[in-house]
Structure 1
Amino acid sequence: MAESSFLACIDAVYAAGLDPELWPEALGQVSEVTASVGALLIPVFPAEAIPLVVSERLEEANRDYGAGWAQYDSRVLASHRLALRPGLLVTDTALFTPEEIARDPFYQDFLRRHGLGLGAYRLIPDGTGALASVSLMRGFGCGTFDGDELLRVDRLSGHLARALGVNARLAEARRLAGTLAEAIEHLGTGLILLDDRGCARFVNASAHRLLGDGLDLSRDRHPVAHMPTERPRLAALLAAALSGQPTGPLLLARPQGAPLHLDAVPIHGRGAAADTLSATAGTRHAIMLLLRDTARSGPASTVDQLRQLGLSLAEARVADLIGQGQSPADAADALAVGMATVRTHLKAINLKLGLSRQGELVALVMRLAGWTRPDRP
């Protein structure tokens, strides 16, 4: 698969983040880059968090599913037994043995009749407390997903989470404010629109209140961190977003108090929301810099802060222990899991946080631990 196809898929996901009507098209591209025949975006909690979204290839199967087959879906009960958690990527081969699949009516009657085979599933938190599930289906007889395909699912998960988070925040703001322009201004999350040079073209009221403590705008309107050690990290976040390859949120240290939670979301695609935001930013290749004050929810544990950076709970626990200087073997013993599990989590941690060495993880955890101490000035 060409990297250009993967980047086009990311663009489609962010376009859907601004205009939910584009989700079916985005899921179609997700299917293509993961070698699946279709994808679904399913609300998990609360049930009304998002509407069910189905890529075009699965529409007929979805109608059949809703007409009666849902009660025979053995995957639901198996997922509950497995205690499926946000961030955990599960395949059908992890839920059932080949023998169980071979005699299961749901697989052999329903899925087979629609030309569908094995699936992969992941819970996606949107950053507002809601959960959705992305489900990918292989064609019948195509076997299970290979390592590269699952890695693409893993890479896409953070982008899906950000796009769903933008959906949720804009929907709530529009419900309270009315028009999109009013919603942007009164959004509870701080929002700065940056043009393709990284220059701020619009700052909403919530962002204005957060500027001046840890983050500010320079004379030429570029975001700048107050602490010199944080400036390369902020620059990397913005550069990645402007290039169309966002690296994920970061916690920006401040001279006083808890850090700022920052995320940079590219504005791509079409639709009323994208058009309004692009017009405000003065370019079709803008980004939204989203700001949140972590102090509002009180001091957070290191594990909680790692989860704010996009890690699952299991990954955050492993990262916390390794960051405190424990070896992978010690972490496995402390968490009562196998070494293979710890290695898998470390691979995901490095990918999500953009780390390449264990020393970088230790430095990050030490910084986060400093923010959780009650004696911090």
Structure 2
Amino acid sequence: MSISGPPADTPERQAYYDKISKRNLNPLWSVMSAIITREPRSACQPHLWNFAEMKELLLEAGSLITAKEAERRVLMLENPGMPGQNRITTSLYAGLQLVLPGEVAPSHRHSQSAVRFVLDGAGAHTAVDGERTIMQVGDFVITPPRAWHDHGNHSDEPMIWLDGLDIPTVSFYDASFAESSPEDERPVTRPVGHSMARFGANMLPVDYEATQPSSPIFNYPYARTREALEAMRRQQEWDPCHGVKMRFVNPVDGGSPMPTMSAFMQLLPKGFETSAYRSTDATIYAVVEGRGTTTIDGQPFAWGPKDVFVAPSWKWVTHHADEESVIFSYSDRVAQQKLGLWREDRGNRVRD
């Protein structure tokens, strides 16, 4: 067996392969170099979605179908290297969701974990297992697996956010379950801010026992995130590959807020250009503030506020900030780390 390439074919070998294929067998040596690769190979391609164009198309969808009819009025961001597969990377899904004033996206629950990153609008809410949170631009909101959730918009403007789910991962394991609620909006049983008050002050209730792997906080407000980035800026804690970059955490154990997805926020000062970086977690980025260019595998992508772009696994990435910029991102890093698969390369200095 060889990872360099398959052995030479012969008529006798081909006759043998034809014979064993009828018994649902296949020789490993003929495909080993294709399935155990020297470096990651993926159909995932780098790509950028311009928010202004996406918003126009979303609003058009809003005139064609209601949130209740659609259940989730979302335009999926399909990776151009994997058309028709409903995914933005090999393991993750992304979409832009629209909820218009006065609408409710009905309650349901499912096996998949979900992250929401608010891009446009203010004052709509999402409800998770009996608690509502009011959403503002830049907020990072999670929906744990199997949690009842609905979305509503009582503001006077459209609300748009980026949905990120581990749909391809759950499908890979054949572990998808979903259930609709008989009520569009489930009863609210806790006041707004309840979870943040209990778990968001570096404290836990004395008798708290975690019953799920997800964070008990489900809204990480942008105002607090921005404050943390500013504190690090004052200390000049610049990483050459990331500027200032922080990861969102579960306050219970310091791990990722979700069991299958990691999320991050980074600050790039005006004129900052990062060193080349690559890692095995294909990453989805959403711009909060600023303008700049990200070069992925030699291909430049100019971005501005609310644009979304994706970098595939193990492709070199550099960011250049034309203005002071803040960028949100999420990936499957935590899942890879738990499986012992994650690896990064900080300018030809590989680290597992």
Q: Calculate the TM-score normalised by the size of structure 1.
A: 0.25
